[in-house]
Amino acid sequence: RILIMFGSLRTPIGLVFIGISDRGVCDVTFGETDEERYLTRLSKRAPDVHRDRDAVVRALKEFEAYFAGQLTQFTVPVDLRSVSDFTALVLRATKEIPFGRLQSYGEIAQRIGTPTASRAVGGALSRNHVPIIVPCHRVIAHGGRLGGFTGGLAIKRALLRIEGHTTL
């Protein structure tokens, strides 16, 4: 039986909800302003969900530091057990992209040993339950185009600006 505790914080991109299991952060949601809707959505992934700010305080502090420009690498553990093996492989590779750097979908595909799978990499990134910690916003399309982002391109640009990218 999976238990998820969650908390939230206000950030420059709006309200961010963070869910944590016994294994680590399993959900980062932005663009949602209603706690009941967040709770309902998260309840579909775990039967036991509770607000518990103390349980997520370490993750909240890391997010505060990130948005204040004081953190370049998250250290909180991440729980990827709800995704497929391929998606977990893509997310682990994406987590290794350094702060301030960008990689293309094709470069991620190459790094995981499937050089022709750039579209599949994009699909896997669209299923990233822990954006920002697993920095899918640092993945761009071939030729330097911004590509997609589940949270919308305005949020992707805002996150990239925090990391020093002003031309995208």
Contacts of 92 by beta carbon, 8 Å cutoff, 6+ apart? 80
From the candidates 25, 136, 139, 159, give the one annotated as an active-site residue: 136
Q: What is the pLDDT of residues 32-74, one digit of tens each?
A: 999 999 999 999 988 899 999 999 999 999 999 999 999 999 9
Determine the average pLDDT of the residues in 148-159. 91
Percent pLDDT > 70 in the chain is 99
Determine the average pLDDT of the residues in 117-135. 96
Q: Which two tokens stand for residue 145?
A: 């185009």
CB 52 within 8 A of CB 5: yes
Specify the pTM: 0.94
Query: What CA–CA distance (Å, rounded) separates 115 from 28?
Result: 29
Check if 26 is active-site. no
User: Is pLDDT of 157 > 70?
Assistant: yes
